[in-house]
C-alpha cells in the first residue's frame, strides 16, 4: 500500500471516531440542556471549526525559513512549527477537512435541535424556524471562515508559532 493511501485510511478513521465522540457528547448534552445552553454549544462548535480552519490555512502559507531561524535561537515551539509546515498538506487536511467538516455537520444537527426547541417554545412554524436557524449557522460558519482565512494568510507565521508553542507544552519530554 502506498504512503498516500495510508493517509486516506487514517483520515477516514480519524473522521469516524472524532465525529462519533463529538456527536455523541453534543447529542447527550443537548438532550438535557435548555435553549440557551444549546445555542452556546452550537456557537462553540462553530468557533472551533473556524479556529481549525485558520490553523490549516496558516500551516499552508507559513514560511519554513522563519522557523529555522527561531529554532537556531532555541525558541520554544519552533521545531514543532517546522514539523507542522513540513506536513502542511496532512495538517491542513486534518484541520480544514476533518475537524472543519465535523464541526459543520455537528453544528447543523445542533441547529435542528435548536429549531425544534425554538418551535416548541414559540408559535413559529418548524419549517420556518429550521430554515432560519440553518441559514444563520451556515452564514456564521462561512463568514467566520472567510474572515479567518484572510487573517491566517496575513499572520501565518505568528499563528503557526502559537500552535507550535502549544504543541511544545503538551509534548512528552524524553527522560534520560
pLDDT 10s digits, 112-171:
889 988 888 888 899 999 999 999 999 999 999 999 999 999 999 999 999 999 999 987
- Average pLDDT rounded to a whole number, residues 90-110: 90
pLDDT band at 1, cuts 50/70/90?
low
- The pLDDT value given to residue 172: 63
- The pLDDT value given to residue 81: 93
Rounded to 5 degrees, φ, ψ at 122 are -125, -175
DSSP 122: S
Residue with C-alpha cell 462553540?
44
| Alpha carbon distance 13, 125 (integer Å) | 39
Has residue 108 got a pLDDT over 70? yes
The conformational region for residue 76 under phi > 0 = left, psi -120 to 50 = alpha, else beta, is beta
Q: Give residue limits of the domains in the chain.
A: 33-162
pLDDT 10s digits, 15-53:
888 888 877 887 777 777 788 888 998 999 999 999 999
- The pLDDT value given to residue 3: 60
Read off the C-alpha cell for 166: 502549544
| 19 against 176, higher pLDDT | 19
pLDDT band at 176, cuts 50/70/90?
very low
Strand segments, DSSP code E, in 48-158 are: none
Measured between alpha carbons, how far is residue 78 from residues 66, 163, 164 in Å? 9, 10, 6
Amino acid at each position: 500500500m502506498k504512503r498516500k493511501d495510508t493517509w486516506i485510511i487514517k483520515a477516514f478513521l480519524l473522521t469516524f471516531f472524532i465525529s462519533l465522540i463529538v456527536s455523541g457528547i453534543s447529542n447527550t448534552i443537548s438532550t438535557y440542556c435548555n435553549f440557551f445552553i444549546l445555542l452556546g454549544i452550537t456557537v462553540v462548535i462553530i468557533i472551533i471549526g473556524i479556529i481549525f480552519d485558520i490553523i490549516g490555512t496558516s500551516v499552508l502559507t507559513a514560511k519554513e525559513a522563519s522557523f529555522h531561524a527561531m529554532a537556531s535561537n532555541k525558541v520554544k515551539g519552533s521545531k514543532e512549527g517546522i514539523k507542522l509546515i513540513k506536513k502542511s498538506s496532512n495538517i491542513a487536511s486534518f484541520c480544514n477537512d476533518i475537524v472543519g467538516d465535523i464541526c459543520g455537520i455537528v453544528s447543523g444537527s445542533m441547529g435542528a435541535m435548536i429549531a425544534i426547541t425554538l418551535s416548541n417554545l414559540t408559535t413559529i412554524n418548524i419549517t420556518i424556524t429550521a430554515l432560519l436557524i440553518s441559514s444563520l449557522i451556515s452564514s456564521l460558519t462561512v463568514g467566520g471562515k472567510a474572515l479567518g482565512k484572510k487573517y491566517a494568510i496575513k499572520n501565518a507565521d505568528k499563528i503557526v508559532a502559537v500552535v507550535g508553542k502549544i504543541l511544545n507544552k503538551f509534548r512528552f519530554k524524553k527522560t534520560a
